[in-house]
Structure formats: structure tokens, C-alpha cells
Amino acid sequence: MSTLEIRDLHVAVEDKQILRGVDLTVRAGETHAIMGPNGSGKSTLAYAIAGHPKYTITGGSVLLDGEDLLEMSVDERARAGLFLAMQYPVEVPGISVSNFLRSAVTSVRGEAPKLREFAKDLKAGMDALSIDPAFAQRNLNEGFSGGEKKRHEILQLELLKPKIAVLDETDSGLDVDALRVVSEGINRFRGTGDTGVLLITHYTRILRYVKPDFVHVFAGGRIVEEGGPELAEKLEAEGYAAYTKDAA
Amino acid sequence: MGLNEKPLSTLHEKSSFNLEDFDVPSGREESWRFTPLSRLKGLHKGTAAAGHITVTVDAAPEVTVETVGRDDARLGQSFAPADRVSAQAWNSFEKATVITVPREAVASKPTVVTLTGSGEGAAFGHLLIKVEPMAEAVIVLEHVGSAVYADNVEFVVGDGATLKVISLQDWNDDAVHVSQHHAQIAKDATFKSFVVTLGGDLVRLSPSVTYTAPGGDADLSGVYFVDAGQHLEHRLLVDHSQPTCKSNVDYRGALQGQDAHAVWIGDVIIRVEAEGTDTYELNRNLILTDGARADSVPNLEILTGEVAGAGHASASGRLDDEHLFYLQARGIPYDEAKRLVIRGFLGQLIEKIELDELRERVFAKVEAELAR
């Protein structure tokens, strides 16, 4: 059973301190929602854990099953079992979705999947997320709609089967149908019970489809309140006003 | 034929068959300022033809191939040399190769012209590809071996004809090649050129396009990969002097290593009479390491107010960190992520090569460059 442990994490971007001591433990089988106002540092947490070069760790640690993620390169973290579903997946010209996915699966599994098996998995994954098969031949994220990009992120999640998934505002920009499809994908992924999910969101909407076990409120670069699913309902009713005042 | 009158355009200053109409370049001229003259091995200052290039042609059955002397009247009808080395090549070649695609013939396979250099000494050449009205052909030019070589290549595309050319500069590392490609496009004719420049110490390739009637369509693509110490230069000139013609230019290169130098000049003229012209030119460079340098200069000179479209763009930069992050975040190691991004960048163009075998060969060569 896997565990992601974030201890007293401090992160800066270009000398500006964004995270100011984040403590959070995500265990396999658990779903944690991180909620908070814009600019509270939610996405910084996601990208810092994944190792984006823009973010500088100024203190603290991040361990995955006892191994120091912060010592690893971005790709080593992914191979160690971390996955980040991005809010704005970047367009990469000239690389087809199917080539990209095969390279990613090969890297994460440490060996190339059998072609026939991979094609079968890919088709099943795309069907489940209502993705047009022609998609596989398109360039990576190029010209994808917002909803297509998010479905494609979840497709990767299901193919790569990480130990811990960090989902950064996967719900943003989705209409209700797409939100349902994407949520079903996340639920399939966590349904195995041996993976942990850190769901970052601004809105409570997705939490109606993906029920969290824990809710953490983020403000001013750290967690300011924690609770169960009932905390999300409180936020739904009252908004973030109380926290933003505190943080200021 | 003497020095032509200076045309209205500033981008196409003069042309002449007489060598003495061109001064020996000093390096200060606009058209020579990027080229390291000291590495031209004398091609620009009247070196005698002491070397040799072997030309072999594997032709489609519908096509005729001739080796002719300097006095053949068909030569030099479609162009006049626009610089010193082109004039030198015109005045110095001994035998020319003429490939003719007869009227309405459709070549059933590509015609492959292999130009093999055999070492030291300057050599000069001339090639005429004549596609008669309504004919269609694919021509592959392959440059291999070691050479100091200057040549003029004429592509004469007749009314309604289609010519697709793939020119592969796959020279050994010590080769010097200065080449002019002149395409003359007749009424409703189509010319597609794909240039791949990988080898050579110094390659300076100047593709130009002129139109003789409305309706012509030119598509010029190029891919280059510049390694340490290499100078690979492409100078394009599209001269729209006829109404309702099209041109599209897309050249992309990757550079790696100390003193890898790419030069791309894209000149497009739309003359007063060329109403309804539709043109776009693009150059992109991916600079993979410190010490590499790309010069990219698009020039668009529009002399009429009635164009259908005219644009240009140039961008040179490093690999995008966000691209690499995305791929690495999916477990793909840095080196492979880099390889995928570069392959994708050049691959979007290479995909346009319609000959399967050649396209795969070019992909393999690019992969080999990436593995260096």
C-alpha cells in the first residue's frame, strides 16, 4: 500500500514564497480534496510535487513510500508512481497521441507493451471515456477542446496506473456530460482501492461525482482547515470569504 | 546577354551570365555576409575545375535522359545567374544532364539523380529538368561523397504540369556545395520542392521560383540538421510577377554543437502586375545547445495593393520546457522526451514527403543525427 507524505513543504516561484509549510499524507485507498480560492497555491503544490522546473523547493520534504521525490527528476517521479493530471495540458506538435501513450506506458512499465495488447487497452480506455478513435492519430493536445484535453489526461491516468494521482482542476472548463465521463474515469481508477487521489479543485461540483474521504482548505500557501466531506458542503454554502480574510 | 536593368525590387538586384558582371565577393555584400567565404575553397573566386562529380540517373521509363554539351540551346533559358558562384558554375561546367518528361506523360516511378563527389578539387555542374505540358514526375536529387561543387539546376514546369523534387544533401562532413535551384512555373503548373540538408561542411542552397503565367503553385519545404562546425544556408527567392499564383515556404531546422550555423533567407517579391497573389513563408529553428547560431531573415516586398494573402514568420528558440515537462511527467526520460519533441518538430514537415521509402530514410537520418 502506497503513501505520499508531504512534510512542511515550502515552495517559491522566482523568489516569491508561495507555499508556506504544507503537511499532508495521502494513503492508498484515500481520496483527498484540496479546495481553496484562486491564488492560494493549490496548483503550485501539484506542480512542485511533480517537479516542474519553475518551482523552487525552499524547505520540507515529499516522500512516496519512503523515497524522497524531491531528489528525483520529473520522469523518475512519474516512474516511481506519481501522476499529475494537468489543468492546462500543453500542445506538442508532431507527436501523435498513440506514439506518446506508447512511449509513456513503455517508460512507466519498464518494457514495451505488446502491440496488440496495447491497442486493445487503448481502445477500451478511449471507449470508456467516449473519445473518438481518430483521436489516437492526432497530434498531442493540438487543437483539442478543453473537454478533450481533460479526457485525454484521464485516459493517461487509467493507462499508466500510478500509485498516487494528483488531479489539478481536472473539472475546470467541463460541461456536465464531460464532468460525468471524467469522474467515472477517476472512480474506475480509485475503485481498485490501492491508489491514492489528491483532487485539487476550486468548486464542489466534481465532489458530487468523486466523493472525497478528506477535505482540506488551502489559503495563503498552506492548509488552514481540514475535515470530512461535510466541509465541502460548508464551502458550497459559505464560499471562501472567511479563509481569504484570514490569509490576508 | 549583359547585365539586366535593375528591377524595381530591391530583393532581386541583378542577374547575368557573364562572370565579370559579378565582383568576387568580399563578405560585405548583403547576399554573402552570412557565408564564411574562407571555407568556400575558392568557389567564389574563379577556381579551376580540377575535381569531378559523377552523375548517375535511374530514370522512370517515360522519361528521357541526355548528357549534353555547353552549346545545347535548351540550357539557360529559364534563368540567369544571380550571383558570382552561380555565374562561375554556368561558365565552367563541361557537360549538362537534361531530363525531359514528355508532354502528358505521367512518370510511373521517381527518377533518381545521384551526384557523387570523389574528393578534392572544384567541380561545376548543370542540370535541366524539363516537364512538358500536362506531364507529371517526381525527381530525387541525391548528393553524396566529398566534393567542392557549384551548380545550377533548372526546373522548367510546363503548362498544367506537376513536378515534385526532393533534394537530399547528404554529403560527407568535408564537402562544400553552392547550388542554385531555379524553378520556372508555367500556367496552372505545380512545383513542389522538398530540401533535406544534413551533410557537408558548408552548403549554400538558393532555391528560386519565377512564374511565366497565372495559376502557378509553388510549395517549398526544407528540413536541415546542423551539427557542430557546419554551415548550412538556404536562400529562397520567390518572384511573383504574374497574377493569381501561389507560393508556400516552410523551412525548419535543428542545430546542435559549437559553431553549428544555420542561415535562412526568405525573399518574396509581389510585383505590381501580380495581383491576387497568395503567399506565405515560414522558418523555424530549434537551437538545442549553446554555441549554435541561427540567422533567419524573411523579406516580403509587396508592390501591389491587390493580394489574396501575404505573410511571413520566423521563430528561433530553444526546446520548450513545458513540452519536455509534460512528456517527462508521463515517465518519459529527458533524452527521449527531447528526441520526441525534435522528431515531432521536423516530422511535421518530413511527413509531407510522399515517397514512403525516402520519407522513412529521411526520418532514419534525422534519428541518427539526434543520436549523435
Q: What is the predicted pLDDT for the residue at B115?
A: 98
Residue B290 burial (10 A CB sphere; 0-12, 13-18, 19+)? exposed
Residue B157 lies in a domain: yes
Please answer whether residues B148 and B176 qualify as being in contact, where contact means their C-beta atoms are separated by less than 8 angstroms: yes
Question: Whose CA is closest to B133, among B188, B213, B76, B59?
Answer: B188
Are both B219 and B341 inside the same structural domain?
no
Out of A94, A99, A156, the one facing B345 most closely (by C-beta) is: A94
Residue B36 lies in a domain: yes
Q: What ranges do the domains of chain A cover?
A: 3-93+146-247
Are both B81 and B222 inside the same structural domain?
yes
Are both B361 and B255 inside the same structural domain?
no
Q: Which of B300, B318, B336 is the last residue of a domain?
A: B318
Q: Extract the C-alpha cell encoding B352.
A: 509531407
Q: Which of B318, B339, B358 is the last residue of a domain?
A: B318
Residue B221 lies in a domain: yes
Are both B47 and B172 inside the same structural domain?
yes
Are both B133 and B180 inside the same structural domain?
yes
Contacts with A148 (C-beta within 8 Å, 6 or more apart), sequence order: A131, A135
Are both B313 and B334 inside the same structural domain?
no
Please answer whether residues B96 and B70 qualify as being in contact, where contact means their C-beta atoms are separated by less than 8 angstroms: yes
Alpha helix stretches (DSSP H) within A7-110: 42-50, 74-80, 97-109
Q: Is B343 near chain A, with CB under 8 Å?
A: yes
Q: pLDDT of chain B along its 372 residues, tens only?
A: 344 444 556 666 689 999 999 999 999 998 999 999 999 999 998 877 788 999 999 999 999 999 999 999 999 999 999 999 999 999 999 999 999 999 999 999 999 999 999 887 899 999 999 999 999 999 999 999 999 999 999 999 999 999 999 999 999 999 999 999 999 999 999 999 999 999 999 999 999 999 999 999 999 999 999 999 999 999 999 999 999 999 999 999 999 999 999 999 999 999 999 999 999 999 999 999 999 999 999 999 999 989 999 999 999 999 999 999 999 999 999 999 999 999 999 999 999 999 999 999 999 999 898 887
Contact A95 B341 (CB under 8 A): yes
Residue B1 lies in a domain: no
Q: Which residue of B has its CA nearest to A102?
A: B332
Residues B190-211 pLDDT 10s: 999 999 999 999 999 999 999 9
Please answer whether residues A89 and B326 qualify as being in contact, where contact means their C-beta atoms are separated by less than 8 angstroms: yes
Q: What residues of chain B lie within 8 A of the CB of A50, using their CB?
A: 329
Are both B352 and B273 inside the same structural domain?
no
Q: Which of B281, B298, B318 is the last residue of a domain?
A: B318
Cα dihedral A10, A81, A103, A96 in deg (nearest 10): -60
Q: What residues of chain A lie within 8 A of the CB of B327, using their CB?
A: 92, 100, 103-104
Residue B13 lies in a domain: no
Give the integer Cα–Cα distance in Å for A171 and A166. 13
Pairing between strand A31-35 and A196-201?
A: parallel
Residue B3 lies in a domain: no
Are both B116 and B186 inside the same structural domain?
yes
Are both B51 and B142 inside the same structural domain?
yes
Contact B330 A104 (CB under 8 A): yes
Contact B341 A92 (CB under 8 A): yes
Domain that holds residue B209: 19-318
Contact B322 A90 (CB under 8 A): yes
Out of A94, A108, A156, the one facing B344 most closely (by C-beta) is: A94
Q: How many domains does chain B have?
A: 2
Size of interface A-B (CB pairs under 8 A): 83
Q: Which residue of A has its CA nearest to B348?
A: A94
Give the integer Cα–Cα distance in Å for B123 and B42. 11
Does CATH place domain A3-93+146-247 in 3.10.310.10?
Answer: no
Are both B74 and B196 inside the same structural domain?
yes
Q: Is B95 near chain A, with CB under 8 Å?
A: no
Q: Which residue of B has its CA nearest to A52?
A: B325
* R_g (Cα) of chain A, nearest Å: 18
Q: What residues of chain A lie within 8 A of the CB of B330, using their CB?
A: 78, 100, 103-104, 107-108, 156, 160
Q: Is B372 near chain A, with CB under 8 Å?
A: no
Q: What is the predicted pLDDT for the residue at B12?
A: 65
Contact A89 B326 (CB under 8 A): yes
Give the integer Cα–Cα distance in Å for A107 and B333. 7
Residue B2 lies in a domain: no
3-state helix/strand/coil string of B164-228: EEEEEECCCCCCEEEEEEEEEECCCCEEEEEEEECCCCEEEEEEEEEECCCCCEEEEEEEEEECC
Residue B331 lies in a domain: yes
Listed in order, strand segments (DSSP E) in A97-233 are: 139-140, 164-168, 196-201, 214-219, 222-227
Please state the φ and ψ torsions of residue B286, each to the nearest 5 degrees: -110, 115
Out of A53, A94, A99, the one facing B321 most closely (by C-beta) is: A53
Are both B309 and B325 inside the same structural domain?
no
